[in-house]
Amino acid sequence: MWPDSSMLRLSLCVLFLPLCWSLPLAGWVESPGYPRGYEPHASLTWSRCAPPGHTLALTLVHLDLEDGYECENDVLKVYADGGLISSLCGRMSLQELRSSVNPSLLSSSGGCLNMSFSADYSNTERHTGFRGFYTIQDYDECDDPNIECSHFCYNYIGGYMCTCPPGYLLNADNHTCTVSCTEDLSGSLRGQVTPPGTPGPYAEDAHCSYSLAVEEGLQLVLEFTGQFDVETKPSGECADAVRIKTRSKTYGPYCGRVPPDPIDTGSSQVQILFDSDDAGTNMGFAVTYKTKRMTCLGEVTADSSLQPRRQQYVMGDTVTVTCDAGTAVDQTIGPGIKSNRTFESRCQKNGGWKPVYNCEMVECEEPTLPHAVKLVGHLSKHYKSELHFACISKYYKLESDEVFTCEADGLWKSTTGHTKMPRCLPVCGVTEGQSSSGRILGGKRAKLGEIPWQLLIKEPKKGGASLISDQWAVTAAHVVDGIKTKTLVVRGGMIDATAQNAVIMYTEKIIIHPGYEKGTSDDSRTTFDNDIALLKMSRKVELGPNLIPICLPERAAAKLGEMSTVSGYGMREKVEQARFLHYADIAEIENEKCKETPRNKNNNLILFTENMFCAGMEGKDSCGGDSGGPLFVPRVGSGAPDKPYRLKGIVSWGAFCRDKNYKGYYTKVQNYLDWIRETMEKEGDD
């Protein structure tokens, strides 16, 4: 039988007198109408909290609620510290409640319990409800696994405390105990240090620090004497450890049964540190200390070597410090610095070196990549890092596949020692456009991408040009002779002279061959020797399937009679100015026939030179407006990656389409290879 609540409260107040003045220590909670039964739509909410160091427990002694799937009809829900811990319905005996429900109805220390009861609109039979008893209980923190005292734990009503055995001090965290073993031995020239507890097993949870200091010019020498017995773990790691710490170095940790070798600390100030865990019966150690004249150790800074090389140096010795390969001095100026890898340092009376500079890992600068070049993979700039290159598109090819490495001097160098990054050169003379096959009578309209190096100059003179790189083009000198501006508008990537989507280029320089006779009218001119000019664009153009440079010719002469193609936007059938790009297949004519040259308007013969050739076929010829345009081999439709299109000639002069000879004269590009390459290199290929 459960006791009356007033009697229980009185008895508990005897035990928990301080709390009885602030809140009830126990009480009952029950459903509305208990035990007669609750009405439809009945509800109840209840909440209680425990004071700090206490918990709140709820014990259900009766449960009779309408049952349902997942308690969907009537339900009693219990929450602890805001989290649902139980949802109850149906009938349960007192024994069932005691075994399966009540043990979980408990708050945390200082936490709260909440209950909510709700009934639906009807019951098929009357249910009496529920009844429970709550109590505030002291919480035993010493049984809580989350609360740890390193030695002893004492529980009291509303709290707990950790305590220490004799000889130990409670740390500021109020949980751990340590031995008081910090000692300043400064000024002592000789002596011995042992851990607390000596003789016998040393103390647990000890964190000892023994400070030694002598005058500058002297250094401390330590030696482990007698028994050495410091606890190790089964893995071989140190469970307890001895460490020796100077201003520049830490020795250890030391443990086990083999004493460390004597230590010349090279310092006038030393700390002997000892740490032990909370278990073990090991016997400890003894460290004797004495002094001798100060020396400097054989290392000034990491990753370096000294010259001259000795085990120890005395005060006043000077050495040259050389950083290891791949490292360099981290300062560019300073006392004693000889180069970016060496500096001088002097042994001081305190056992240190001065000056001291770090030898830092060499790092190369971020590479400046040429146009159209990209890096493959992640960029790392540290010593021995590598650079791998690729081109930004298939319209370029890498001139060299060498790997560049960050070397010890901070420069990127190739496997052959070059520092100049590889370039991506435009792929020339390989087209993607559809080509026609067979002989073309009188010329045919070109398809887009079929002759992608063809350029058009509209003003001040109409003429053609050929793209020979992503920034340079070549044309006839007479097309640009006498022009008063260096900026021409050049169009490419099209086959329609009126196309709105043409690639527009602007010239930065116009360079006429120095052997060309300038300033003479084309109608009165008696020579077109050296009729060639280079056009440098103000920036590199973006290459694509419709705009690709043509290759320059090889030095070996092409075979006479080999079919070639001439293209341009010039006149067709004498009167029509072509809107679209046309081309015709023609053949080179032997020199004897080429010497039968036409005359100018003054009826003077035009001189034929070795820098020219002529070509044509019946019904096929270049015409007015084609000047400066390309004549290339092999003919359209015959090129291949292993046989690219090459610029054989530049449309130069002749009667062109004015007579039936069908014979045009062309500048022989083969004779100007050196001038073209030297000029491009001199003027710079940005």
From CA 80, how far away is CA 63, in angstroms rounded? 19
User: Locate tokens 């004497």: which residue?
Assistant: 225
Cβ neighbors of 14 (< 8 A, separation 6 or more) are none
What token pair was written down for 128?
């009496």
Ligand-binding annotation for 240, yes or no, is yes
User: Locate tokens 């109590």: which residue?
Assistant: 135
Q: Is the peptide bond before 370 cis (omega within 30 degrees of 0)?
A: no
Ligand-binding annotation for 138, yes or no, is yes
Phi and psi at residue 15, to the nearest 5°: -80, -40
From CA 270, how far away is CA 420, in angstroms rounded? 54
User: Locate tokens 């341009």: which residue?
Assistant: 568
* Cross-strand partners of 53: none
From CA 570, how far away is CA 652, in angstroms rounded? 13
Ligand-binding annotation for 231, yes or no, is yes
Is 531 known to be catalytic?
Answer: yes
* Buried b / exposed e along 149-185 (16+ C-beta atoms within 10 A): bbbebebeebebebebeeebebeeeeebbbbebeeee
Closest listed residue to residue 205, CA positions, set 275, 288, 139, 267: 275
Ligand-binding annotation for 104, yes or no, is no
Beta strands (DSSP E) in 452-562 are: 454-457, 463-467, 472-475, 489-492, 503-512, 533-537
What amino acid is encoded at 622 in this protein?
A: S
Beta strands (DSSP E) in 95-176 are: 112-118, 129-138, 152-156, 159-163, 168-170
Q: CA of 8: how far to CAs of 14, 28, 91, 94, 532, in Å?
A: 10, 11, 28, 20, 119
What token pair was written down for 209?
């620090």
What amino acid is encoded at 278 in this protein?
A: D
Ligand-binding annotation for 229, yes or no, is no
Pick the catalytic residue: 54, 478, 513, 582? 478
Ligand-binding annotation for 672, yes or no, is no
- Give the gyration radius of the chain's Cα atoms: 50
Closest listed residue to residue 294, CA positions, set 271, 315, 269: 315
Ligand-binding annotation for 120, yes or no, is yes
Ligand-binding annotation for 261, yes or no, is no
Ligand-binding annotation for 141, yes or no, is yes
Ligand-binding annotation for 86, yes or no, is no
In DSSP notation, 57-103 reads EEEEEEEE----GGG-SSEEEEEETTEEEEEE-SEE-HHHIIIIIGG
Ligand-binding annotation for 277, yes or no, is yes
Ligand-binding annotation for 122, yes or no, is yes
Pick the catalytic residue: 267, 564, 627, 652? 627
DSSP category for residue 141: G
In DSSP notation, 358-378 reads -EEEPBPPPP-PPTTEEE-S-
Contact 359, 323 (CB under 8 A): yes
Is 378 known to be catalytic?
Answer: no
Pick the catalytic residue: 275, 470, 531, 626? 531
Three-point CA angle 156, 158, 163, nearest 5°: 40
Residue ranges for the known binding site are 66, 74, 120, 122, 138, 141, 155-156, 159, 231, 240, 277
Residues acting as catalytic residues: 478, 531, 627
Residue ranges for the known binding site for Ca(2+) are 66, 74, 120, 122, 138, 141, 155-156, 159, 231, 240, 277
